[in-house]
């Protein structure tokens, strides 16, 4: 384990049980709001997984761990990513908090010994999604947006829920389109987000499955 990651768990006794250890580690850093959010995302991911025939056990674990890197201060994220030999993108260097998705996957691997690539992938793109995303990636991405960790009403939650009646892809595209429309307000436009949206748009066009229909539903 990298010594910087080791420092994060100094004094923590890990049991090997993901739920117990997530709870212990997050509370060591006094982040009760993060713990509560991770629990809610995990439950939401479980429900979405059951609904869309995705592996629910993987969804639960990915949900629990998706924001585990909240224990790393934003000011230290680039240094940690570089220490872990991640290829830090210019957008991530410009706005380090966006790195938290990839750092959570690294912490899941290093500290929690998660070697399930599907779970690590879902954790690692839960904020932006990515091109070629799996159904599990989309489940965790959407669960995070539905169970938004801000005190205000989850943005776009209603839109996502309506689109989920169509499919995971429709809901993911719905959210990414809304983000795209307000891209001038975003701290950064992450290339993975752009690539995910472009891919979903192309698939939507190919199937002509009805983004038009989605827009109509949203305006009803
Ligand atoms: Fe997150
Ligand atoms: Fe989150």
Task: State pTM to two decimals.
Answer: 0.92
Residue 86 near residue 102, CB atoms below 8 Å: yes
Instruction: Look at residues 44, 40, 74 and name the one whose alpha carbon lies nearest to residue 188.
Output: 74
Identify the nearest ligand to the CA of 38 by its number. 2
pLDDT for res 153: 59
From ligand 2's centre to the CA of 205, what distance in Å? 30
Residue ranges per structural domain of the chain? 3-219
CA–centroid distance, 99 to ligand 1, in Å, is 9
Q: Residues 64-96: pLDDT tens digits? A: 999 999 999 999 999 999 999 999 999 999 999
Instruction: Report whether 123 contacts 104 (CB < 8 A).
Output: yes
CATH superfamily of 3-219: Hypothetical protein af1432 (1.10.3210.10)
> Sign of dihedral through CA atoms 183, 189, 194, 196?
negative
Ligand nearest to the CA of 143: 2
Confidence band, pLDDT 50/70/90 cuts, at residue 219: very low
pLDDT mean across residues, the chain:
92
Q: Residue 21 — very low, low, confident or very high, per pLDDT cuts 50/70/90?
A: very high
DSSP E strand stretches across the chain = none
- Segment 11-21 mean pLDDT: 94
Mean pLDDT to the nearest integer, 189-206:
96
Predicted local distance difference test score (pLDDT) of residue 1: 81
Give distance in angstroms: CA of 5 to centre of ligand 2.
20
Contact 123, 179 (CB under 8 A): no
Smallest-distance ligand from the CA of 147:
2
Give the number of the ligand closest to the Cα of residue 105. 1
If you measure from the C-alpha of residue 37 to the centroid of ligand 2, how many angstroms do you get, rounded to a whole number? 7
More confident residue, 2 or 141: 141
- The closest of 130, 128, 126 to 141, measured between CA atoms, is 126
Q: Give the distance (Å) from ligand 2 centre to CA of residue 157.
A: 14
208 CA to centre of ligand 1 in angstroms: 31
**pLDDT computed for residue 220 by the predictor:** 41
Q: Report CA(1)–ligand 1 centroid distance (Å).
A: 23
CA distances from 177 to 11, 33, 160 (A): 44, 28, 11
Give the C-alpha separation, 131 to 53, whole Å.
Answer: 21
């Amino acid at each position: 384990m990298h010594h910087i990651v080791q420092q994060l768990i100094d004094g923590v006794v890990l049991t090997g049980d993901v739920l117990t250890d997530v709870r212990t580690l997050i509370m060591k850093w006094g982040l009760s709001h993060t713990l509560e959010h991770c629990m809610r995302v995990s439950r939401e991911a479980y429900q979405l997984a059951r609904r869309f025939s995705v592996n629910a056990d993987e969804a639960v674990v990915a949900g629990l761990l998706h924001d585990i890197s909240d224990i790393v201060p934003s000011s230290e994220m680039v240094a940690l990513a570089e220490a872990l030999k991640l290829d830090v993108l210019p957008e991530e260097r410009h706005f380090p908090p966006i790195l938290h998705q990839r750092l959570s996957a690294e912490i899941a691997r290093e500290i929690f010994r998660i070697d399930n690539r599907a779970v690590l992938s879902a954790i690692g793109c839960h904020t932006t999604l990515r091109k070629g995303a799996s159904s599990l990636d989309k489940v965790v991405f959407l669960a995070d947006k539905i169970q938004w960790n801000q005190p205000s009403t989850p943005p776009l939650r209603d839109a996502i829920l309506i689109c989920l009646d169509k499919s995971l892809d429709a809901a993911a595209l719905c959210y990414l389109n809304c983000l795209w429309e307000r891209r001038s307000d975003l701290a950064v436009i992450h290339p993975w987000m752009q690539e995910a949206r472009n891919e979903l748009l192309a698939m939507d066009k190919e199937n002509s499955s009805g983004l038009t229909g989605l827009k109509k539903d949203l305006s009803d």
